[in-house]
Structures are given as C-alpha cells and as structure tokens.
Amino acid sequence: MTLDSRTPTKCITGHSDTHLTAIQAHRLHTHIIDDFLALQKGAKRAGFELTIASSFRDFDRQALIWNNKFSGQRPVLNKQQKAVDLTQLSDLEKCIAIMLYSALPGASRHHLGTDLDVFDSAAISDDYKLQLTPDEYQQGGPFAPLSQWLDDNLTNYGFYRPYKQDLGGVAPELWHISHIEQSHKLVNELSEAVLYECISNSNLLGKSAILGNLPILYKRFITNVSPP
C-alpha cells in the first residue's frame, strides 16, 4: 500500500485512510511499520511489552469526542485531572479547556497514522483499566520504567514525544509517541487555510468560536510541540 499523493489533505485531516496498514488490531501509517516493530522489539529486549493503546482516529471519531466534551456528555479534565465546569465558560474557553488533552478535529496528529499512544501491558493485570494519565507514567506509576526507557531510546528508532513538555498548549502526554520523519512530512501539509475549510464543512460544536479564533488556537495548540 502506498500513500495516495492525490489526497494529502484528506490524509492529514482524517478524511482518508489510504495511507494506513492494519497491525496488532490498530492502523498505522504504512511507512512507519518497520520502525515501530523495531521499537517494539527493542522494548521487549529491555523487559517491556510495548502495546498500542490508540493509533489512527478519523475525523468523525475525533469530532464525536470533541462534541461529547463540548456538550458536557464526557468530562473535560484540567492539568490536575479534575473535571472542569463548562457551564461557567464561554465557547472559546470551552475550546481551550478541551484542547488541553483532546485535539481539534482536522488537526489531530492521530489522523496521520504516524502517532500512537503506548503502554507496557506487562506492568499491569488483565483487568487493569488503562487511563492514559500523567500519574501512570511518572515515578511510582506502572509505566514509569517504560517511560524512562522511551526517554533514552525513542529517537534511536525514529520516534519522539511531541507533547513531552508543557509549552502552554497541549498538556504533557508521555504516552503519545510520533514517528519523526513521516509525521513532519504530513504536518507540513497542514495550514490554517486547510483547517479552516475542514472545520467550516463540519458539524463541530463551538464552530463559530473555533473559526473566529483559529490563528490563536493554531499557534497555541497545533504547531506548538516539543522538538525531536
């Protein structure tokens, strides 16, 4: 399978899956499969069962998450992992609160197939309920040893953490890894204009606030990532 060069915009906004290959009950960008398997084998040698928790999400799936959060059907958490009272916020403030942990549909790195959330399945029991929260990956958490190994080894396999540091946009997500080369190729195809058109043609809640403040949101949450 090869990336359809005629539809790069659809690939980066989550409206196409022609660039993906099925693997381990998930879908990843075809061109990162070999590097991911090498990363997984390296982790195995170090004593970890590197497992995919989440990978590709299309626009509709991301939009469902967004709308459920915007409408209050799904909790929106702050950095202290406490639920935010959305009834006290303007539409723009709701968008900012949601984007702390959930990407704007059309701009999610999970659309690319180059980004995935990982954990160590050997560190937990079968009935453990995975949360993907900071405490699981920090000292004392079940995935802290894996997190340290990823710190030391990710780039050797061509991956990095785009949300490793708090840069004032997306909160740190130590579970989120990205393929350096392929993600950069696709991210460079995204622009405010492309995203504006994508959202204009959607049924996202808060659309007026998003479009009216897109330059601010774009700079703070979309291009504002940690370097490899």
Model confidence over 142-166: pLDDT tens digits? 999 999 999 999 999 999 999 999 9
Model confidence over 210-219: pLDDT tens digits? 999 999 999 9
Measured CA to CA in angstroms, residue 80 lies from 8, 71, 92, 133, 224 at distances of: 37, 21, 21, 10, 21
User: Domains of the chain: which residue ranges?
Assistant: 8-121+129-222
d(CA 39, CA 159) in angstroms, rounded, equals 9
Please state at what angle helix 59-70 crosses helix 91-99, rounded to 10 degrees: 120
User: What pLDDT is attached to residue 5?
Assistant: 38
The proportion of the chain whose per-residue pLDDT surpasses 70, expressed as a percent, equals: 97
Predicted confidence (pLDDT) at residue 129 exceeds the cutoff of 90: yes
Q: Domain spanning 8-121+129-222 has what CATH number?
A: 3.30.1380.10
Mean pLDDT value across residues 207-226: 98
Q: Please list, in sequence order, all residues whose beta carbon lies within 8 angstroms of the beta carbon of residue 68, skipping any fewer than 6 positions away.
A: 74
Tokens representing 73 are 């059907």
Q: What is the pTM of this model?
A: 0.94
Q: How many CB atoms lie within 10 A of CB 6?
A: 9
Model confidence over 1-56: pLDDT tens digits? 233 334 578 999 999 999 999 999 999 999 999 999 999 999 999 999 999 999 99
User: What pLDDT is attached to residue 138?
Assistant: 96
Which residue's structure tokens are 């980066």? 12
User: What pLDDT is attached to residue 9?
Assistant: 86
